[in-house]
């Protein structure tokens, strides 16, 4: 984030299959709620609001002095107290490479600051902060950061990263520190490669992403509501965010590293954001909890920063619940979908869907084609059945069909045949069919599969 970080409308349209989620490790849920030294109860209050025990708290180092990098006792002691108060808690720590105006990437890469980071490692362990996730030189692709990697400094950044990791591991080899290499989502593919320090020095490949839009897409005009607003949100996602997520997924897979989303959030219109954007929240949670993306953790930036408002929760600065969010619909979607994804219903008795088939091996854009499948319910129930057509490379939604209020008797199988058209304005290439089955009130995703790829000419 620049500077300091610089009615539920439908349901997430691309969730990971809950049976798969239950069988695999879920991404850890974290949050930024301000520095805990002055407000020690805020993360606990956030957990109460979310209905989920948040075990990953985020803190940010100051950029004003070496003292606040090597041994910020005001910060380390408070976070240590929070971590030790409950088993399983960890600190997600944004660590500065050097103070603003008091260092350089070249000097760091030459090892001049090694002793300072050995001291930091020792001080973190002394305060019980072993096993922390360290966002070293976070958001380094942003020119607002002192350790900005642009302007020909890519190699120096990578070298600096290696030196600091080596120094901290050397000082505390048993501490279990994990290092997150964390640019912004819009870093170029070339800079991804040029600034990467090497697999031996990286535990997570992260990106920060806030719902801001450029080139006239945001802010959404005041008279643009309903379908007009949704189209703005979808367009910004498809143009600005979906390609970036695909880029990071590919890069992380190539290096056999888990992804992370250390900061993400909705954004107010005043700072070029999409406002109360339910679509953004759905898409982000869908990406984060899709096992194919291998996301290790995510941390929502639940904070009203000076350069952008993001807070969804009702947590006030006293640890109470009196705050009124300006994003009520996005907040409702976040809570509902997070609950469904992290506390999936038992698989026993859940409905199932047959693998969808497409009417032709190759589809022609602009012409109708058929998708056929069936859903079976083991018990009498009412369900919502949904079919989506998505880009296979970016997961961008093309079109969808919803069958609401589908009444099933026990053991009944219902067949569905749906006609779709891929617009000629979209590129030829690989697409897929997603099949989703929801509870009647949309509150739970009961079945999901996305294993029907096809080609469109």
Radius of gyration of the chain (CA): 23
pLDDT at residue 4, as a whole number: 38
pLDDT at residue 9, as a whole number: 31
Listed in sequence order, the residues at least 6 apart from 221 whose beta carbon sits closer than 8 Å to its beta carbon are: none
Instruction: Give yes or no: 70 in active site.
Output: no
Residue with tokens 């189209």: 231
Half-sphere exposure of 216 (CA within 13 A, CB side): 0
Quick check: 357 and 452 in contact, CB under 8 A? yes
Instruction: Give yes or no: 139 in active site.
Output: yes
Give the number of residues written for the chain: 457
CA 421 to chain centre: 30
Quick check: 313 and 52 in contact, CB under 8 A? no
Residue with tokens 């600091």: 164
Of 231, 263, 388, 400, the active-site residue reads 263
Residue with tokens 């941390």: 299
**Average pLDDT for consecutive 10-residue bins of the chain (457 residues)?**
38 36 70 84 94 95 97 95 93 98 98 99 98 98 97 98 99 98 98 98 98 95 96 97 97 97 98 97 96 96 96 94 97 96 70 92 91 94 94 83 94 96 92 91 84 89
State phi, psi for 111 to the nearest 5 degrees. Answer: 90, 10
Take residue 285 and report the two structure tokens written for it.
């949670």
Q: What is the pTM of this model?
A: 0.73
Domains of the chain: 18-342 (3.20.20.80), 352-456 (2.60.40.10)
pLDDT at residue 1, as a whole number: 54
pLDDT at residue 204, as a whole number: 98
Cross-strand partners of 418: 371
- Choose among 359, 352, 384: nearest CA to 452: 359
Quick check: 95 and 136 in contact, CB under 8 A? yes
| 3-state SS, one letter per residue, for the chain | CECCECCCCCCCCCCCCHHHHHHCCCCEEEEECCCCCCCCCHHHHHHHHHCCCCCEEEEECCCCCCHHHHCCHHHHHHHHHHHHCCCCCEEEEEECCCCCCCCCHHHHHCCCCHHHHHHHHHHHHHCCCCCCEEEECCCCCCCCCCCCCCCCCHHHHHHHHHHHHHHHHHHCCCCCCEEEECCECCCCHHHHHHHCCCHHHCCEEEEEEECECCCCCCCCCCCCCCHHHHHHHHHHHHHHHHHHHHHHHHHHHHCCCCEEEEEEECCCHHHCECCCCHHHHHHHHHHHCCHHHCEEEEEEECCEECCEECCCCCCCCCCCCCCCCCCHHHHHHHHHHHHHHHCCCCCCCCCEECCCEECCCEECCCCEEEEEEEEECCCCEEEEEEEEEEECCCCCEEEEEEEEEEEECCCCEEEEEEEEECCCCCCCEEEEEEEEEEECCCCCEEEEEEEEEEEEC
Of 70, 139, 231, 400, the active-site residue reads 139
Strand 295-301, strand 28-32: pairing: parallel
pLDDT at residue 324, as a whole number: 98
- Choose among 102, 97, 36: nearest CA to 69: 97
As a whole number of angstroms, the distance between CA 135 and CA 95 comes to: 6
pLDDT at residue 442, as a whole number: 83
pLDDT at residue 345, as a whole number: 57
Take residue 202 and report the two structure tokens written for it.
């990286």
Quick check: 122 and 171 in contact, CB under 8 A? yes
Cβ-defined contacts of 46-51 (< 8 Å, 24+): 46/302, 46/313, 46/315, 48/321, 49/313, 49/314, 49/315, 49/321, 49/335, 50/313, 50/335, 50/338, 51/335, 51/339
């Amino acid at each position: 984030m620049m500077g300091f970080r610089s009615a539920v409308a439908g349901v997430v349209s691309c969730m990971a299959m809950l049976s798969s989620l239950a069988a695999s490790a879920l991404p850890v849920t974290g949050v930024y709620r301000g520095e805990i030294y002055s407000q020690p109860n805020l993360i606990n209050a956030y957990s109460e609001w979310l209905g989920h025990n948040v075990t990953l708290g985020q803190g940010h180092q100051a950029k004003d002095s070496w003292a606040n990098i090597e041994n910020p006792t005001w910060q380390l002691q408070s976070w240590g107290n929070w971590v030790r108060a409950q088993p399983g808690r960890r600190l997600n720590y944004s660590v500065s490479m050097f103070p603003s105006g008091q260092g350089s990437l070249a000097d760091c890469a030459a090892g001049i600051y090694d002793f300072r980071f050995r001291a930091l490692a020792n001080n973190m362990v002394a305060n019980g902060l072993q096993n922390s996730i360290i966002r070293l030189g976070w958001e380094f692709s942003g020119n607002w950061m002192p350790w900005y990697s642009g302007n020909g400094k890519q190699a120096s950044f990578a070298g600096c990263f290696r030196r600091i990791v080596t120094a901290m591991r050397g000082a505390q080899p048993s501490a279990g520190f994990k290092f997150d290499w964390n640019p912004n989502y819009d870093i170029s593919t070339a800079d991804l490669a040029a600034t990467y320090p090497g697999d031996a020095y990286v535990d997570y490949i992260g990106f920060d992403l806030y719902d801001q839009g450029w080139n006239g897409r945001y802010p959404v005009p005041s008279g643009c509501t309903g379908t007009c607003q949704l189209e703005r949100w979808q367009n910004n996602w498809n143009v600005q965010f979906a390609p970036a997520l695909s880029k990071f997924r590919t890069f992380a897979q190539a290096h056999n590293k888990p992804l992370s989303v250390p900061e993400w959030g909705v954004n107010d219109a005043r700072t070029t954001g999409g406002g109360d954007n339910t679509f953004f929240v759905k898409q982000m949670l869908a990406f984060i909890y899709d096992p194919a993306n291998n996301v290790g953790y995510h941390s929502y930036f639940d904070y009203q920063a000076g350069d952008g408002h993001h807070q969804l929760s009702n947590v006030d600065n006293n640890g109470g619940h009196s705050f009124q969010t300006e994003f009520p619909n996005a907040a409702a979607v976040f809570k509902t979908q997070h609950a469904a994804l992290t506390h999936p219903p038992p698989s026993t008795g859940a409905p199932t869907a047959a693998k969808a088939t497409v009417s032709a091996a190759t589809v022609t854009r602009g012409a109708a084609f058929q998708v056929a499948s069936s859903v079976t319910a083991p018990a009498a129930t009412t369900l919502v059945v949904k079919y989506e057509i998505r880009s296979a490379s970016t997961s961008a939604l093309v079109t969808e069909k919803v069958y609401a209020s589908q009444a099933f008797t026990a053991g009944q199988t219902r067949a569905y045949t749906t006609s779709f058209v891929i617009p000629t304005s979209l590129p030829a290439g690989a697409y897929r069919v997603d099949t989703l089955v929801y509870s009647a009130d949309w509150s739970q995703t009961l079945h999901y599969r996305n294993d029907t790829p096809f080609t469109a000419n």
